[in-house]
């Protein structure tokens, strides 16, 4: 068969040149007829064709025919104006939700920005932590060197409005969305400080970086807390571990409580601080059951060689924090894992970014410990079980509810536990609001300049929860238990019994219940 681009010599052609003469009138008529016929054919094909305009330039696989049909029907026949872009976004979101996987999600541009903040530790805002106390939004602490600190924001300030918009009825997430904004822009916070009148404070937003690692020393024990795995976590950890070595610390606690995970690459390099080069950090398993080891790639930190390592976990320790705990547990017999059962997330997510700055995050592999253990939905069991005291699980009091003498309610147990924790004699810990509890409430009210009527409601409820929260922040029970064990003040069995005795009144939720709650609210 000849090449379509092959060249021919015009001298060798078999066709003879002919002179053709056409009447100009009929030439014009012919051209007009062709144009009209072409237009009619195009219109008919668009009107009656089964493939509508939406399919042009798209994947026409048969499994998408219903999707195209629904899109076309809604776009043309819905009674009101339709945002076609929103339809497509919703379709993608619904497709991902169809996976029934709490760790896979489609994120629009705003959600992608928030996700990137968790990866880098950077955001644009004022640099202050806020909490919700009842219906109030309270500053717990401005970050050191932050715009909030420079503007004079103080712990305990109540924010009642942002740029003139009242925060009444808003939760902390909604309030934070108003406070955050582009670097260099101003935000006006209306605050109430103590009994003073509301005042406006203008804060200029900036880029804020949140460190993922903190280091402290208690009774000769180094405490390194890692709140998540983000870019630079290993570098921060290395600085802390080197500081501990310089301080002559031999016992180290690596604290992963409420660490939801983060970047797997940072978990591997953190493992590499303790484990030499070319050792298995974890195993990845694909859908076909094929396993691929992830190896440590550099020399380990020699400062870790002579340190006694204790890993502190709880029900909020998940994913990358479990990767670290599992790897160190498999590689070293003398590593002690303490706390409570970890969350149990044994799968890994991959991300795919799109040109409009949206992102797809989806589960693509399982991960297993170096010895092949899959901890998904089971978690890691601590060798030293340290349950938090009852006061960590008290029911949050609603300021509108009223609790008074002679009532019986499960909530009364929480009231008694809270008062006992704060040093008031509340009597037998049960569901009965008795005279002893009334006296304890009156004493609490007198100490806080409240009307001493013995009823728990309104400001009494709010202040009781606030005081308890402050107590918890200043008294880390699990950490104190572990330090007392490390320093030899209590043996393993003894400290476990003390922890259990302090947790006997309020039911501890099961790991399955915690996983179910986390799955329902997960953005991870």
Note if 345 is an active site residue: yes
Q: Which of 329, 330, 390, 434 is catalytic?
A: 330
Which tokens hold the place of 320?
């990358």
Answer whether 228's CB lies under 8 Å from 118's CB.
yes
Q: How far apart are CA 329 and CA 333, in angstroms?
A: 7
Q: Distances in Å between the alpha carbon of 516 and those of 257, 265, 285, 456, 522?
A: 18, 27, 24, 32, 10
What does the DSSP assignment read for 243-257?
HHHHTT--EEEEE-T
Say if residue 415 is exposed, middle or buried (CB neighbours under 10 Å; 0-12, 13-18, 19+): buried
Q: Distances in Å between the alpha carbon of 46 and those of 38, 43, 319, 399?
A: 12, 5, 52, 64
β-strand pairing of 136-142 with 158-162: antiparallel
Q: How far apart are CA 208 and CA 128, in angstroms?
A: 10
Nearest to residue 419, comparing CAs of 459, 382, 456? Answer: 456
Q: How many CA atoms lie within 13 A of 57 on its CB side?
A: 2
Note if 330 is an active site residue: yes
432 DSSP β-pair partners: 408
129 DSSP β-pair partners: 141
Q: Which of 141, 319, 342, 414 is catalytic?
A: 319
Answer whether 209's CB lies under 8 Å from 122's CB.
yes
Q: How far apart are CA 419 and CA 394, in angstroms?
A: 11
Answer whether 515's CB lies under 8 Å from 344's CB.
yes
Q: How far apart are CA 460 and CA 504, in angstroms?
A: 26
Q: How far apart are CA 80 and CA 83, in angstroms?
A: 10
Q: Which of 104, 317, 345, 434 is catalytic?
A: 345
Q: Distances in Å between the alpha carbon of 82 and those of 72, 92, 109, 248?
A: 11, 17, 21, 67
Residue 241 makes CB contacts below 8 A (sequence gap 6+) with 222, 224, 252, 273, 301, 303, 304, 307
Which tokens hold the place of 283?
């195993």
Q: How many CA atoms lie within 13 A of 104 on its CB side?
A: 17
Note if 319 is an active site residue: yes
Q: Which residues have a catalytic role annotated?
A: 319, 330, 345
């Amino acid at each position: 068969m000849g090449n379509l681009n092959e060249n021919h010599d015009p001298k060798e052609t078999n066709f003879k040149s002919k002179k053709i003469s056409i009447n100009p009138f009929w030439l014009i008529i012919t051209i007009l007829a062709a144009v009209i016929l072409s237009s009619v054919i195009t219109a008919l094909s668009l009107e009656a064709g089964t493939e509508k305009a939406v399919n042009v330039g798209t994947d026409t696989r048969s499994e998408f025919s219903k999707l195209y049909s629904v899109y076309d029907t809604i776009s043309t026949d819905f009674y009101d104006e339709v945002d076609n872009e929103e339809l497509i976004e919703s379709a993608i979101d619904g497709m991902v939700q169809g996976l029934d996987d709490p760790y896979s999600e489609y994120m629009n541009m705003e959600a992608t920005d928030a996700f990137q903040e968790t990866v880098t530790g950077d955001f644009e805002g004022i640099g202050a932590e806020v909490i919700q106390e009842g219906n109030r939004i309270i500053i717990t602490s401005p970050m050191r060197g932050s715009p909030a600190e420079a503007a004079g924001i103080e712990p305990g300030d109540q924010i009642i409005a942002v740029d003139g918009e009242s925060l009444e009825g808003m939760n902390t997430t909604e309030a934070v969305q108003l406070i955050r904004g582009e670097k260099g822009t101003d935000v006006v916070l209306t605050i109430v400080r103590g009994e003073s009148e509301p005042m406006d404070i203008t804060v200029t937003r900036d880029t804020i970086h949140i460190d993922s690692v903190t280091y402290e020393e208690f009774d000769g024990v180094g405490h390194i807390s890692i709140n998540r795995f983000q870019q630079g976590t290993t570098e921060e950890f290395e600085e802390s571990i080197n500081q501990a070595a310089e301080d002559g610390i031999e016992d180290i606690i690596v604290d992963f409580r409420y660490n939801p995970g983060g970047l797997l690459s940072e978990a591997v390099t953190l493992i590499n601080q303790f484990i030499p080069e070319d050792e298995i950090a974890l195993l990845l398993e694909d859908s076909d059951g094929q396993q691929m080891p992830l190896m440590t790639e550099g020399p380990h930190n020699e400062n870790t060689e002579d340190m006694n390592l204790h890993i502190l976990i709880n029900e909020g320790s998940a994913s990358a924090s479990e990767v670290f705990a599992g790897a160190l547990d498999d590689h070293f017999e003398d590593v002690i894992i303490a706390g409570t059962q970890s969350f149990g997330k044994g799968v890994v997510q991959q991300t795919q970014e799109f040109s409009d700055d949206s992102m797809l995050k989806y589960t693509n592999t399982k991960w297993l410990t170096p010895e092949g253990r899959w901890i998904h939905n089971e978690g890691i069991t601590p060798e030293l079980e340290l349950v938090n005291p009852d006061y960590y699980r008290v029911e949050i009091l609603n300021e509108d509810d009223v609790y008074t003498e002679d009532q019986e309610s499960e909530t009364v147990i929480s009231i008694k536990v809270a008062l006992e924790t704060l040093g008031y004699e509340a009597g037998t810990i049960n569901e009965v609001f008795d005279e002893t509890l009334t006296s304890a409430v009156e004493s609490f009210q007198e100490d806080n300049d409240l009307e001493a009527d013995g009823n728990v409601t309104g400001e009494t409820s709010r202040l009781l929860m606030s005081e308890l929260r402050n107590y918890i922040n200043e008294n880390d029970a699990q950490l104190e238990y572990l330090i007392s064990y490390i320093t030899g003040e209590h043996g393993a069995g003894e400290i476990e019994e003390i922890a259990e005795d302090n947790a006997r009144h309020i039911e501890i939720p099961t790991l399955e219940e915690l996983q179910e709650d986390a799955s329902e609210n997960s953005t991870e």
